Amino acid sequence: MLSEGQSLPSIFEPRYWPLVDALVEDYFLSVTSKGLKRFTGAHFETLGGEWHDFPTRNVMTAGDLIAVSCLSVKIPGAAAVRVLERQAGAISELLTAMPTVDATLWDLPEDAVANPEAPASQLWRLLRGGRDGLGPTTTSKLMARKRAHLIPVFDGSAARIGDI
């Protein structure tokens, strides 16, 4: 929900939809002269396994950490050890308690993610609480890898789940 005085960027106006379609298609489908995808971010949903594969949808994997690196962030080694080993069980429990991979942000009540007691908010705090280099942008990208239709990626000064 937009606050008073806020507005959506003009790119969301219908007159720009053909441009948006073209940009998204270029991002995901354009290749180099060697046949490689031009943008590494186009591998975010597939590198190391599909983000929604049944066996790993509620487990943070090394593939998830590597896929996030395609979005120009770094997962520090200490954070990787914590996420994949020390806190793996707690992370899996929270992912299991979150809405399914098919759930979309716009189809759920706002408090399904923003409520401090919601599993998504708890996972945000758990990932951010390690003080080992998982900043807000990296955390949002890691969570989006597990729930692509539910968790938005936040860059820069955008609002974050922990700020809601």
Residue 49 is predicted with a pLDDT of 84
Residues 39/45, Cβ–Cβ less than 8 Å: no
Question: pLDDT digit of tens for each residue in the chain (164 aa)?
Answer: 556 777 777 877 889 989 988 988 888 888 888 988 888 888 888 888 888 888 999 999 999 999 999 998 999 999 999 999 999 999 999 999 999 888 888 888 888 888 999 999 999 999 999 999 999 999 999 999 999 889 988 776 544 444 43
Q: How buried is 32 (Cβ within 10 angstroms: 0-12 exposed, 13-18 middle, 19+ buried)?
A: exposed
* Alpha carbons 122 and 93: distance in angstroms, whole number: 11
The domain locations on the chain are 10-43, 46-163
Q: Which residues pair with 31 in a beta bridge?
A: 37
